[in-house]
Chain A
Amino acid sequence: QKEVEQNSGPLSVPEGAIASLNCTYSDRGSQSFFWYRQYSGKSPELIMFIYSNGDKEDGRFTAQLNKASQYVSLLIRDSQPSDSATYLCAVNGDSNYQLIWGAGTKLIIKP
């Protein structure tokens, strides 16, 4: 059974600081890694994806992948109150477009 683990939080970070969200996965053969953001009462939206070891930056967001440690993280620089949401980590499954989901980490940015 493939699993994705995330700390449920809440993770509280002061405004302007770096928020660091972490995720581990069980299947060493996983190829694709995704971060989704879900605001309260809304559906998830894709914010980052990463396929290769190392860092990938997109604006204030950086995704980091370490396949040897089976670890993927999301860094949010200059955190804003609007970043307060639940962040879902997902890893590709065996079937087309199937994703294995973590339970999500609730992030709270304190003004």
Chain B
Amino acid sequence: GAVVSQHPSWVICKSGTSVKIECRSLDFQATTMFWYRQFPKQSLMLMATSNEGSKATYEQGVEKDKFLINHASLTLSTLTVTSAHPEDSSFYICSAGGGTVQETQYFGPGTRLLVL
């Protein structure tokens, strides 16, 4: 139980394009979803928290106009990196919480973004 999927697992794009990453909770309803970014050999960095049907709450220093988050249903959240630049290249990981036995976050497998 508590399976979270992410798609795509890898994406390579040109600078200036937008990239959408999907995060789905497959066997539970995720009332809250989280988006993290992780650079090589660094710690997880929380980017934003989203509750179903509400606007996302962004962490300090994260540009909400650049990283668009939509949590339109209890099983799907999307992160769109708009006008991506090479410095946005990173490992993006979503997690979901809600409706599970353990009241904690379950992680998707992550998406590697490379912006050329």
Interface residues of A (CB under 8 A from B): 32, 34, 36, 41-46, 49, 88, 90, 92, 95-99, 101, 103-104
The 8 Å CB contact of B102, one of A44, A46, A88, A101, is A46
Size bin of chain B's contact surface: 20 to 34
Whether B49 pairs with A98 at a CB distance below 8 angstroms is yes
Closest to B100 in A: A97
- Give the total number of A-B pairs whose CB atoms are below 8 A apart: 51
Can you list 24 pairs linking A and B with CB atoms under 8 Å apart? Answer: A32-B103, A34-B104, A36-B107, A42-B109, A43-B93, A43-B107, A43-B109, A44-B93, A44-B95, A44-B107, A45-B107, A46-B104, A49-B102, A90-B104, A95-B32, A96-B31, A96-B32, A97-B32, A97-B34, A97-B98, A97-B105, A99-B105, A101-B43, A103-B43
